[in-house]
């Protein structure tokens, strides 16, 4: 929600009507867009050209690295790099009939004397690598020719990629000379990385490592992705042929069933296309934490890692147990990140004294827990989850005191749990006059609907130290940080999502702090992982298909969606700022006056216009546009009437205004956190997390992407965060209802992705398809319900949705099913999702479709048309599989009615169809095959629902008995209607045509 990339000096300059100072940059020569160093020139004096197609500026070492280790493609036009003279061959280079210049790039016969002279100079210590301006030009210096460049022109330049090392061949007769020559490791363009004695230079290696990118894209192997795409295309063609056949082959005696089924088929086809297209370009990512440390945590220098504010949200301590929140907070305080860079803010929307007291106890226990975790490198750093691990906790532990200290810490944690449980027991009985604090004053949050702003700093700068005297991260009971720490990045977590990987924030910083691409990243989303789910994940709580397939596909377009938790934001993006713009490079112009085929003229133009003109003009125009924007913008309307907070929104690097004291900042924080501060501002409308929707996460990420930002999906090997999920059927359906209703609300709002931001063109088309599918999937519930009822109706009416199948139609149907399963299997192959997880997702797609999603559509329409609102309750949070008994808990809800009805109707249809076939004769069994197939398809998808409906074994709920009685009644009525004891003769009636007919 920031308004630009201004820093504090620029803000002051604007209000003083001064020109903001632009960042100085060396524009004397063309620079590499990857490493930032100068491109350099060839021996002819021309600029080095890596790509002949677009002229994207890349230096030779980066060009060589990309050919050898990367994708071998130009970063701009994606054209494969051609092999240039003097470059080593790599797999994929076209075979050339001429002599390889690599084999003859050292003319040993012609230059042997020069090489011997150079070798003698090296061994005698007379070789100098680069001269100063006052050095003797006649000093002895070897003129070793390497390709088209001379060694005398080498200079020490550091590049972000390691360069290919090649040994210079020397014609020596003695073995001693050969061994000495083997120590010569000269990089392309003469970048020296080894000393003459053959040892590595650690300082140079560290500098080189610090210049390398902090992350990279890992393309999914084409052997996995190409077959998948081919099958998807084949499925699309087969689906088109099948729909054409269905539309042109009506069923005269069942026109209603035929038309309904055709409409359902067309809807399913479009729904599949909108779901499939965003998966076309899936990618993986890899981070380099060691490079992050080398770049920003250099020994002997101040730590320059960016500060991070962590927000933990909670509402009801009775449904979200305080011990769960305490473990989340402890895992945050113990993260592997500089303590002065981490601040934990707990936002208690319920204003509960129980939560407040829990945080007080948590702050005290953290003084022991945090040093224990960091001393022994504990994972995970939530004590409840760590002590519950059923693994060898001595693995990789080498300190002899570990067992003793672990035993002591476990006892300390058990005592901590007893204190928290005592607070919970006390909080269950609320006094009539409300809660009273220790000083005798009433608790300000006794009225949860109307209470003043509250702030309490439990652990702060200079006041929070652990048992060993080390400083602890800040812990604050408040929901605003903009005027306190004001970190440039923010991590938000639900109270039940603890830090499972202590380096999670470092993983995010590899993207957000990357000097090349980080400025355009608005947030880094981590996948959600859960504890306490039953082994077979009966109700698809893990949602692996979405997190491991859909989100990887979105990462290859414009970035994953924001899913509400486990996400690190750039504060400037939330403040409404636009992403930094990139100057466009002029197109290549042909040159017909010289045999360079446009290369020389093109790059001279690029050098002059791009570097000296376009970039400078962009800086000037961008500064003017910012100044105009800042001068005309009504800060009070956007950010409220706090001058301190408005100033903090302009500090891109974060940090509170230095002119304010701590007391003034606390006072200002109380003002900003008041409930009426956001009134008459753009908070929740255009800035920050967007309010007014149940799924505020989806709409928040959608608005950021619509502004042109991109996001990143980070999947470290060790899951970054883990949480709890509702595992019984009723809670799972209620959770799905809440998500679906939020999507329906977005569909009927002004943020509908079909048209919102369409004119700006900043949201990519495939990304828009993904958001459209996200808001429209609840409406598919009507189609799913219809399709689940069609098989039973066909059995009860002795009709079918298709005409008599021919060989061609049968072949189309078989091909459609084969393509469906093949594409699914290949999708699992490149994503890593198991078959069981995919099947559970398909089952809950049907279960949720005919219950939660259907109710969401109805309630959404009632809210839009009649203004009837729905109040949702928070789902209960549990710890681990000790609570797996909740899986069998049966809680009646109206969401269970539609699936149960569908299940019963299909069972009735099976009985009716089978009985009618037995009564009619053997010839009636053949038409039943197709009908039975679709009926069993419905029942197979509803099987987990049936198990959930039955509850624990040998304990049938009363509601099931009631439905069984109703089912028996329906069976009786259908049985009377069918009358299976009366023989039904096929053909003409003998009574009508006579005995001799």
Q: How confident is the model at residue 317 (pLDDT cuts 50, 70, 90)?
A: confident
Q: What is the pLDDT of residue 465?
A: 84
Task: Give the whole-angstrom CA distance, residue 8 versus residue 627.
Answer: 13
Tens digits of residue pLDDT in 151-199: 333 333 344 444 443 333 334 344 444 443 344 333 333 333 333 334 4
Assess whether 992 carries a catalytic annotation: no
Query: What is the Cα–Cα distance from 741 to 746, expressed in whole angstroms?
Result: 9
Specify the pLDDT at position 809: 81
Which percentage of the chain shows pLDDT scores above 70?
71
Answer with the residue of higher pLDDT: 260 or 95.
Answer: 260
Asked if pLDDT for residue 26 goes beyond 90, the answer is: no
Residue 392 is a catalytic residue: no
Handedness of CA 620, 621, 625, 626 (dihedral sign): negative
Q: Are residues 946 and 904 in contact, defined by beta-carbon separation less than 8 angstroms?
A: no
**pLDDT 10s digits, 525-580:** 999 999 888 888 888 889 999 999 999 999 999 999 999 899 999 999 998 888 88
Q: Is the pLDDT of residue 659 over 80?
A: no
- Closest to 184 measured CA to CA, from 119, 137, 132, 114: 119
Show the tokens assigned to 932. Answer: 């039975």
Start-to-end Cα distance in the chain: 87
Can you give the pTM of this predicted structure?
0.72
Query: Could you tell me which of 914, 940, 942 has the C-alpha nearest to residue 928?
Result: 914
State the pLDDT at residue 441. Answer: 82
Using 50, 70 and 90 to split pLDDT, how confident is the model at 143?
very low
Angstrom distance (rounded) from CA 132 to CA 191: 18
C-beta of residue 219 within 8 angstroms of C-beta of residue 830 = no
Catalytic residue (choose from 697, 798, 881, 992) = 697
Q: What is the predicted pLDDT for the residue at 973? A: 62
Point out the least confidently predicted range of 315-324, 337-346, 863-872, 965-974. Answer: 965-974
d(CA 539, CA 355): 31
Q: Using the predicted structure, report yes or no on whether residue 202 has a pLDDT greater than 80.
A: no
pLDDT the model gives residue 135: 43
Report DSSP state, residue 896.
Answer: G
Count Cβ atoms within 10 A of the Cβ of residue 616 and give its class: 0-12 exposed, 13-18 middle, 19 or more buried.
middle
Higher pLDDT, 682 or 626: 682
- pLDDT of res. 629: 45
Q: What per-residue confidence (pLDDT) applies to 256?
A: 87
As beta bridge partners, residue 146 has 149
Q: Is the pLDDT of residue 263 over 60?
A: yes
Q: Is the pLDDT of residue 688 over 80?
A: yes
Q: Which two tokens stand for residue 140?
A: 């002895």
What is the average pLDDT across 602-610?
36
Work out the average pLDDT over 701-729: 91
Catalytic residue among 28, 100, 171, 349: 349
Higher pLDDT, 103 or 374: 374
Neighbour-count burial for 803-821, b at 16+ CB within 10 Å, e otherwise = beeeeebeebbebeeebee
pLDDT at 960 over 80: no
Tokens 């940059």 locate to 25
The chain-wide mean pLDDT, for the chain, equals 76
């Amino acid at each position: 929600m920031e308004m630009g990339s201004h820093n504090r000096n620029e803000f002051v300059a604007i209000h003083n009507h001064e020109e903001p100072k632009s960042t100085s940059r060396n524009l004397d020569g063309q620079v590499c867009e990857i490493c930032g160093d100068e491109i350099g020139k060839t021996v002819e004096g021309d600029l080095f050209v890596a790509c002949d197609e677009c002229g994207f500026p890349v230096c030779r070492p980066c060009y060589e690295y990309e050919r050898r280790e990367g994708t071998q493609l130009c970063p701009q036009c994606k054209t494969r790099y051609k092999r240039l003279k003097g470059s080593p061959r790599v797999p994929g280079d076209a075979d050339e009939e001429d002599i390889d210049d690599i084999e003859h790039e050292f003319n040993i016969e012609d230059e042997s004397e020069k090489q011997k002279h150079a070798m003698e100079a090296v061994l005698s210590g007379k070789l100098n690598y680069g001269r100063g301006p006052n050095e003797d030009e006649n000093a002895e210096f070897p003129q070793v020719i390497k390709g088209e460049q001379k060694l005398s022109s080498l200079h020490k330049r550091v590049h972000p990629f390691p360069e290919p090392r090649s040994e210079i061949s020397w014609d020596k007769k003695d073995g001693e000379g050969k061994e000495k020559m083997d120590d010569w490791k000269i990089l392309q363009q003469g970048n020296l990385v080894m000393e003459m004695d053959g040892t590595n230079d650690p300082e140079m290696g560290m500098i080189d490592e610090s210049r390398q990118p902090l992350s990279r894209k890992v393309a999914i192997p084409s052997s996995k992705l190409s077959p998948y795409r081919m099958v998807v295309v084949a499925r699309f063609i087969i689906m088109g042929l099948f729909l054409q056949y269905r539309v042109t082959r009506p069923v005269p005696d069942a026109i209603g069933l035929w038309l309904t089924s055709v409409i359902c088929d067309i809807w399913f086809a479009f729904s599949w296309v909108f779901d499939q297209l965003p998966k076309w370009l899936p990618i993986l990512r890899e981070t380099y934490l060691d490079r992050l440390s080398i770049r920003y945590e250099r020994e002997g220098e101040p730590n320059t890692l960016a500060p991070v504010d962590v927000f933990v949200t909670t509402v009801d301590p009775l449904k979200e147990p305080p011990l769960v929140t305490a473990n989340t907070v402890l895992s945050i305080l113990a993260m592997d990140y500089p303590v002065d860079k981490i601040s934990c803010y707990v936002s208690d929307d319920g204003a509960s004294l129980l939560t407040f007291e829990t945080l007080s106890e948590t702050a005290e226990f953290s003084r022991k827990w945090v040093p224990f975790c960091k001393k022994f490198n504990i994972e995970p750093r939530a004590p409840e989850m760590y002590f519950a691990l059923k693994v060898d906790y001595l693995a990789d532990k080498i300190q002899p005191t570990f067992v003793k200290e672990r035993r002591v810490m476990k006892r300390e944690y058990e005592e901590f749990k007893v204190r928290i449980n005592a607070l919970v027991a006390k909080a269950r009985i609320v006094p009539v006059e409300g809660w009273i604090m220790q000083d005798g004053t009433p608790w300000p949050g006794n009225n949860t609907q109307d209470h003043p702003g509250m702030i309490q700093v439990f652990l702060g700068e200079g006041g929070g130290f652990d048992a060993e005297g080390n400083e602890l991260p800040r812990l604050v009971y408040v929901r605003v940080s903009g005027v306190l720490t004001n970190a440039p990045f923010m991590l938000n977590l639900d109270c039940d999502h603890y830090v499972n990987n202590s380096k999670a924030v470092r993983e995010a910083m590899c993207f957000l702090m990357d000097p090349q691409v980080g400025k355009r990243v608005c947030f880094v989303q981590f996948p959600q992982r859960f504890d306490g789910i039953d082994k077979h994940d009966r109700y698809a709580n893990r949602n692996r298909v979405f997190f491991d397939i859909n989100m990887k596909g979105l990462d290859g377009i414009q970035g994953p969606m924001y899913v509400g938790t486990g996400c690190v934001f750039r504060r400037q993006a939330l403040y409404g700022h636009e992403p930094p713009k990139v100057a466009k490079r002029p197109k290549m112009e042909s040159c017909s006056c010289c045999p360079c085929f446009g290369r020389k003229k093109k790059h001279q133009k690029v050098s002059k216009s791009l570097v000296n003109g376009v970039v400078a003009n962009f800086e000037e125009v961008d500064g003017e546009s910012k100044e105009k924007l800042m001068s005309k913008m009504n800060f009070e309307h956007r950010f409220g009437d706090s001058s301190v907070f408005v100033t903090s929104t302009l500090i891109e690097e974060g940090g509170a205004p230095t002119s304010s004291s701590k007391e003034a900042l606390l006072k200002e924080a109380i003002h900003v956190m008041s409930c009426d501060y956001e009134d008459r501002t753009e908070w929740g409308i255009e800035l920050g997390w967007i309010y007014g929707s149940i799924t505020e996460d989806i709409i928040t990420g959608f608005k950021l992407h619509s502004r042109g930002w991109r996001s990143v999906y980070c999947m470290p090997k060790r899951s970054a965060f883990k949480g709890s999920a509702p595992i019984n059927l009723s809670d799972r359906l209620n959770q799905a209802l809440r998500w679906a209703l939020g999507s329906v609300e977005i569909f009927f709002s002004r943020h509908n992705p079909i048209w919102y931001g369409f004119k700006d063109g900043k949201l990519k088309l495939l990304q828009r398809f993904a958001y459209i599918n996200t808001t429209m999937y609840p409406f598919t519930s009507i189609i799913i319900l219809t399709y689940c009822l069609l098989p039973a109706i066909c059995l009860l009416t002795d009709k079918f949705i298709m005409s008599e199948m021919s060989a061609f139609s049968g072949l189309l149907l078989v091909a459609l099913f084969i393509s469906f399963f093949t594409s699914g299997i290949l999708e699992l192959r490149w994503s890593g999702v198991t078959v069981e997880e995919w099947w559970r997702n398909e089952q809950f797609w049907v279960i949720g479709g005919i219950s939660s999603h259907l109710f969401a559509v109805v309630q959404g329409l009632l809210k839009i048309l009649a203004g009837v609102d729905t109040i949702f309750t928070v789902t209960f949070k549990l710890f681990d599989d000790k609570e797996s008994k909740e899986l069998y808990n049966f809680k009646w809800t109206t969401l269970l009615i539609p699936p149960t009805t569908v299940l019963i109707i299909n069972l009735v249809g099976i009985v009716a169809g089978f009985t009618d076939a037995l009564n009619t004769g053997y010839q009636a069994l053949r038409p039943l095959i197709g009908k039975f197939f679709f009926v069993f398809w419905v029942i197979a998808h509803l099987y987990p629902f049936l198990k959930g409906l039955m509850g624990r074994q040998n304990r049938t709920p009363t509601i099931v008995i009631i439905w069984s009685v109703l089912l028996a009644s329906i069976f009786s009525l259908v049985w009377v209607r069918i009358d299976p004891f009366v023989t039904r003769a096929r053909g003409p009636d003998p009574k009508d045509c006579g005995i001799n007919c």
